[in-house]
Amino acid sequence: MSAILRLYPRAWRERYGDELLALLEDRPPSPLDLIDLTRGAFDARLHPQLPETQPVTPERKNPMSDRLPGLAAIGGGLLFLVGVAMIGLAPLPSFDGYRETGLAMPVIFLSLPLIDVALIAAAVRRRGGAWGRGDTWLAIIAVGSTAVSMTGWPGLMIGFLTLIAVTATVVVRYLRDAGAPPWVVAGAVVATVLAIAANTEDDRAWLLAPIGLLAVVFGLISTLRPRPSPSVDPA
């Protein structure tokens, strides 16, 4: 364990080293703990001016439940990109100039509520509270609208429009609270503008891709970033 400790800056080791070693002796670290400890050392060297920077020890590590929102966002983003690629790579038929979306639209419909729920869960996690009534209802409507969209016309249009409205609401209400950096928030605005100009029946379908890419990027940030510790009154 001394090898892990040497990854941290000298000033940090002098202040927290004994405490960390004692914790590791009481509870041997798992492979995930070692990854968290290494990430904590990297963060301590990047931000040495922050005296409160501490490693994620077995007592302070992010449990898997804290990582689930980020993993869900990654999964939803990748699924969304698969749907876009299924449309964009499909050949253009010569008789009417439109692509056959086939299974691509159901894939996209399934990915959006996954991204929505991931953003809501990430925001709830960062504020350290329980799911509120509004949080729960938005998640239910996102999943329910996807189910409605699978029933055929007119449920397809009703479910699709509802899902788009819910997704827009979630992005506006939760993206910043979920810990997204300002450039991701700005990217979401750009992706929304591009999505308005997209058309799933021709090459403009690729304009939807930034939505999936941003979901994956946000998921990676959310998964790798430690959960904010609650503030403690030194008195």
**What pLDDT is stored for residue 41 in this prediction?**
74
**What pLDDT is stored for residue 93 in this prediction?**
63
Question: Do the beta carbons of residue 221 and residue 180 sit within 8 Å?
Answer: yes
Enumerate residue ranges in the chain where pLDDT < 50. 50-62, 229-235
Question: Do the beta carbons of residue 174 and residue 122 sit within 8 Å?
Answer: yes
**What pLDDT is stored for residue 75 in this prediction?**
92
Residue type, 33: D
**What pLDDT is stored for residue 79 in this prediction?**
93
